[in-house]
């Protein structure tokens, strides 16, 4: 851990907030380099940071730049990630040794954002949706590293549920096995990323950021090593019709199978294909749900700080 800290650069603004027990919210960088085209990716990344600031917290966009783990990227670094796009390596846990040793750039996934956030002392992370157990995983064994990270890294992840391209039932079973609490913010039902309902129940419904803070702090007091998953439904006005998105997912899955897409290329391919099929509606929904998650994460991070002072 000490050796890793020498490779960690915490932005002065972020470090000052942490030192003064002010709320900080981590953000991933894969959405910048692999999530959408330039300049929309940079505009969206900066807009998410603005949402966090407007809700009283400090944003910390996380990435690997030149072999350094960055907890808080500058505007110039975000611009670099956006312009470089998919030339930046999508960096999961298994990629970290190579990316750091070779002084490369890496766009962090949920997994590596959690890892670096924890190393920097950041407890709350807002993203779009987590990875999970892929459909057909009983044959392919395609299970996202996000789930293992949630099982071993004590960070609260605020998302709009697992991506609906996944097997949501098996994803919940996996999280239960690993002891990761799945909370629904204002809902009893697991959100399905583009839509507000999935047909699967969460472990507990939570209606306020204060209650989320209480549960997270209790988890830490108990010394549990795992993270906490907060699922926050996409706002009603941006939710997509379930029949439309389900049809798009089935078409995208069939195309991926035909082309032999697998491994870490699967999710970016499917999301891009769904965007094309829906005429860009899915991307618009994706952006709006990230804004909503950033807001809830900021309010929760602030509540955690208040309770630590009390």
pLDDT tens sequence for the chain (310 residues):
566 668 999 999 999 999 999 999 999 999 999 988 899 999 999 999 999 999 999 999 999 999 999 999 999 999 999 999 999 999 999 999 999 999 999 999 999 999 999 999 999 999 999 988 987 777 778 888 999 999 999 999 999 998 777 889 999 999 999 999 999 999 999 998 888 988 899 999 999 999 999 999 999 999 999 999 999 999 999 888 777 777 877 787 788 778 887 766 776 777 777 777 766 667 788 899 999 999 999 999 999 999 998 7
Between CA 151 and CA 226 the distance in angstroms is 5
Residues 130 and 111 in one domain: no
Structural domain total, the chain: 2
Same domain, 199 and 278: yes
Same-domain status, 46 and 85: yes
Assess whether 144 and 238 both reside in one domain. yes
* CATH assignment at residue 238: 3.40.1790.10
Question: DSSP characters for 112-149?
Answer: HHHHHHHHHT--EEE-S-B--BBTTHHHH--B-HHHHH
The verdict on 118 and 132 lying in the same domain is no
* 163 has catalytic annotation: yes
186 plus 232 within the same structural domain: yes
Residues 93 and 191 in one domain: no
Domain span at residue 81?
A: 1-122
Same structural domain, 150 and 2: no
H/E stretch holding 1? none
Any catalytic annotation for residue 28?
A: yes
Boundary of a domain, candidates 65, 91, 122: 122
- Which of 28, 77, 79, 149 is catalytic? The answer is 28
* pTM, two decimal places: 0.92
Of residues 70, 163, 273, 275, which has the active-site annotation? 163
């Amino acid at each position: 851990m000490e050796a890793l800290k020498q490779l960690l650069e915490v932005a002065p603004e972020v470090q000052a907030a942490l030192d003064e027990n002010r709320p900080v919210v981590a953000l991933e960088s894969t959405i910048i380099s692999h999530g959408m085209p330039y300049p929309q990716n940079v505009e969206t990344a900066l807009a998410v940071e603005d949402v966090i600031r407007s809700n009283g917290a400090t944003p910390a966009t996380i990435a690997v730049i030149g072999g350094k783990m960055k907890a808080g990227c500058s505007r110039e670094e975000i611009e670099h990630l956006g312009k470089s796009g998919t030339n930046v390596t999508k960096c999961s846990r298994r990629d970290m040794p190579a990316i750091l040793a070779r002084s490369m750039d890496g766009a962090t996934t949920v997994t590596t954002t959690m890892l670096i956030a924890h190393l920097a002392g950041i407890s709350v992370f807002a993203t779009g949706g987590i990875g999970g157990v892929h459909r057909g995983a009983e044959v392919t064994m395609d299970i996202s590293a996000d789930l293992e990270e949630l099982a071993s890294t004590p960070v609260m992840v605020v998302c709009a549920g697992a991506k609906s391209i996944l097997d949501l039932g098996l994803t919940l079973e996996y999280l239960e096995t690993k002891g990761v609490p799945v909370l629904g913010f204002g809902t009893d039902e697991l959100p399905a990323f583009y839509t507000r309902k999935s047909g699967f129940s969460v472990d507990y419904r939570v209606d306020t950021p204060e209650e989320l803070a209480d549960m997270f702090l209790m988890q830490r007091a108990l010394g549990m090593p795992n993270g906490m998953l907060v699922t926050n439904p996409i706002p009603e006005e941006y939710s997509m019709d379930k029949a439309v998105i389900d049809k798009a997912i089935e078409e995208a899955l069939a195309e991926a199978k035909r082309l032999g897409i697998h491994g870490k290329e699967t999710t970016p391919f499917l999301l891009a294909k769904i965007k094309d099929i829906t005429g860009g509606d899915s991307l618009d929904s994706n952006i709006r749900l990230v804004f909503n998650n950033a807001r809830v994460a900021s309010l929760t991070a602030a509540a955690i700080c208040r309770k630590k002072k009390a």
